[in-house]
Amino acid sequence: MIVEGYAALFGVADLERDIVHRGAFRRSIAERHTAPMLLRHDSRLRAGVWFALREDVRGLFVRGRIEADAPAGALAMRLIGEGVDGLSIGFRTLVQRKRADGRDLYDLDLIEISIVPRPMAPRARLSRAL
């Protein structure tokens, strides 16, 4: 199954009041080109791979493949079929600026992207499942 959507949106505060800025993933994408697809940020629940990562004016657009034989591939397909469509990024912060109410994030080391029922960035969602 191929899925796609936005894993992060630029300039929009998440529930922790963090704001990811355009260019935050540029270095990470250039170094890795892909990212593991997990469920709920659990490394034991690998569902597949995000094979296309790109920044555009809106945010971090991702396209991935859920692998039926991956440890959590079948579970991921079932959850998506039941309407789970949230995306959430796992990352290390490399460059940030603290604000009174959160952080501005300028350079992030992308570790993984998870399918989740309730994303920290409420508009980070899958838009298609083929």
Q: What are the pLDDT digits (tens) for 13-23?
A: 999 999 999 99
Q: How far is CA 116 from CA 21, 64, 68, 84, 125, in A?
A: 22, 15, 18, 7, 9
Residue with tokens 């499942």: 129
User: Do you know the residue count of the chain?
Assistant: 130
Task: Give the pair of three-digit tokens for residue 95.
Answer: 């460059």
| Domain assignments of the chain as residue spans, ordered by start | 2-129
Q: Is the dihedral of CA 25, 29, 35, 37 positive or negative?
A: positive
Residue with tokens 């604000």: 99
CATH 3.10.440.10 fits 2-129, yes or no: no
Residue-averaged pLDDT of the chain: 96
The residues that bridge with 8 in the sheet, in sequence order, are: 60
Q: What are the pLDDT digits (tens) for 12-51?
A: 999 999 999 999 999 999 999 999 999 999 999 999 999 9
| pTM, 2 dp | 0.95
